[in-house]
Chain A
Amino acid sequence: MKKKSMMKVFAVLMTAAMAFGLTACGSDGGNEGSEPSSEASTTEQSTAQDSTAEDSTAEESGGGTAGAEGLKIGATYYTLQTEFCMRMDNEAKKWAKENGVEYTSYDGNNDASKQLEQVETMIADGVDAIILNPQDADACSACVDAAVEAGIPIVGVNTMVNNDQLTAYVGSEDVSAGEEIMQYMIDYMDSDAFNIVVIEGPMGQSAQLQRYEGITNVLADYPDIEILAIDTANWSRSEAMTLMETWLTTYGEEIDAVVSENDEMALGAREAIKAQGLDIPCIGIDGITDAVAAVESGDMIASDFQNAEGQIRGALDTAVKCVNGEDYEKEVWIPFEMITPDNYADYQGRY
Chain B
Amino acid sequence: MSGANKQKAAVRQRKMTKKQFIATYGSLIGLIALIIIITVIRPRFLGGANIRNVLRNASINGLLAVGMTFVVLTGGIDLSVGAIMGCAGMYSAYFAQAVLGYPVIVAVLIGLAVGLAFGLFNGFCIAYLRVPAFVGTLGAMSVADGLKFLLTDAKPIPNLNEEFEFIGGGSIGPIPVPCIIMVIVLIICFVLLYKTRYGRYVFAVGGNQNAAHVSGINTKKIIFSVYILAGVLSALAGIIMTARVTSGVTSTGDGYETDAIAMVVIGGTSLAGGKGRLWGTIVGIMIMQVLSTGLDMLGVNTYYQMLVKGFVVIGAVMLDSLSSD
> Touching in the complex, A and B, CB below 8 A?
yes
Interface class of chain B by DSSP: helix
Which residues, 243 to 286 on B, are CB-close (under 8 Å) to A? 244-247, 249-252, 254-255
- CA gap between A332 and B194 in the complex, in Å: 59
User: Which of B154, B246, B293, B297 sits near A141, CB closer than 8 Å?
Assistant: B246
- CA gap between A110 and B254 in the complex, in Å: 9
B246 neighbours in A (Cβ, 8 Å): 141-142, 145
Q: How many residues of B contact A (CB 8 A)?
A: 40
Which chain B residue has the least Cβ–Cβ distance from A123?
B49
- Are B44 and A204 neighbours in the complex by a CB distance under 8 Å? no
A138 at the interface (CB under 8 A from B): yes
Which residues, 206 to 251 on B, are CB-close (under 8 Å) to A? 241, 244-247, 249-251
A111 neighbours in B (Cβ, 8 Å): 251-252, 254-255
B296 neighbours in A (Cβ, 8 Å): 104, 106, 118, 121
User: Which of A117, A125, A139, A204 sits near B57, CB closer than 8 Å?
Assistant: A117
- Are A112 and B305 neighbours in the complex by a CB distance under 8 Å? no
- Are B154 and A139 neighbours in the complex by a CB distance under 8 Å? no
- Are A203 and B154 neighbours in the complex by a CB distance under 8 Å? yes
* Binary CB contact string for chain A from 118 to 132 against chain B (1 if under 8 A, 0 otherwise): 101101111000000
A141-B158, A204-B153, A204-B155 given as contacts; is B49 within 8 A of A112 (CB)?
no
B169 at the interface (CB under 8 A from A): yes
- CA gap between A136 and B162 in the complex, in Å: 20
- Are A112 and B149 neighbours in the complex by a CB distance under 8 Å? no
- Are A120 and B53 neighbours in the complex by a CB distance under 8 Å? yes
Which chain B residue has the least Cβ–Cβ distance from A203?
B154
A80 at the interface (CB under 8 A from B): yes
CB distance from A294 to the nearest CB of B (A): 26
User: Which of A107, A110, A139 sits near B305, CB closer than 8 Å?
Assistant: A107
- CA gap between A112 and B90 in the complex, in Å: 14
B200 at the interface (CB under 8 A from A): no
- Are B249 and A139 neighbours in the complex by a CB distance under 8 Å? yes
Which chain B residue has the least Cβ–Cβ distance from A145?
B246
B166 at the interface (CB under 8 A from A): yes
- Are B297 and A138 neighbours in the complex by a CB distance under 8 Å? no
A117 neighbours in B (Cβ, 8 Å): 53, 57, 292-293
- CA gap between A80 and B302 in the complex, in Å: 7
- CA gap between A123 and B53 in the complex, in Å: 10
B170 at the interface (CB under 8 A from A): yes
A1 at the interface (CB under 8 A from B): yes
CB distance from A103 to the nearest CB of B (A): 8
User: Which of A106, A113, A202 sits near B252, CB closer than 8 Å?
Assistant: A113
- Are B158 and A138 neighbours in the complex by a CB distance under 8 Å? yes
Interface size class of A (residues with CB under 8 A): 35 or more
CB distance from B248 to the nearest CB of A (A): 8
- CA gap between A145 and B170 in the complex, in Å: 13
A202 neighbours in B (Cβ, 8 Å): 154
B247 neighbours in A (Cβ, 8 Å): 138-139, 141-142
B156 at the interface (CB under 8 A from A): yes
User: Which of A107, A116, A204 sits near B250, CB closer than 8 Å?
Assistant: A204
B250 neighbours in A (Cβ, 8 Å): 204
- Are A135 and B251 neighbours in the complex by a CB distance under 8 Å? yes
B7 at the interface (CB under 8 A from A): no
A350 at the interface (CB under 8 A from B): no
A204 neighbours in B (Cβ, 8 Å): 152-156, 250
B42 at the interface (CB under 8 A from A): yes
A125-B42, A203-B153 given as contacts; is B245 within 8 A of A139 (CB)?
yes
- Are B299 and A4 neighbours in the complex by a CB distance under 8 Å? no
- CA gap between A104 and B295 in the complex, in Å: 11
- Are A113 and B170 neighbours in the complex by a CB distance under 8 Å? no
CB distance from A64 to the nearest CB of B (A): 22
CB distance from B164 to the nearest CB of A (A): 12
- CA gap between A162 and B247 in the complex, in Å: 11
* A–B complex contacts, Cβ < 8 Å, 14 sampled: A4-B162, A81-B302, A104-B296, A107-B305, A109-B255, A121-B50, A124-B44, A124-B50, A125-B297, A135-B251, A139-B252, A142-B169, A142-B246, A145-B246
Name B's A-contacting residues (CB within 8 A): 42, 44, 47, 49-50, 53, 57, 60, 149, 152-158, 162-163, 166, 169-170, 241, 244-247, 249-252, 254-255, 292-293, 296-297, 299, 302-303, 305
Known: A111-B254, A113-B245, A141-B245. 19 other contacts (CB 8 A): A4-B170, A80-B303, A105-B299, A111-B252, A117-B57, A120-B49, A121-B53, A123-B49, A125-B42, A136-B156, A138-B157, A138-B158, A139-B156, A139-B245, A145-B246, A203-B155, A204-B153, A204-B155, A204-B156
Sort A-B residue pairs by CB-CB distance and give the 7 closest, nearest first: A107-B302, A124-B50, A139-B249, A203-B154, A138-B156, A124-B49, A204-B154
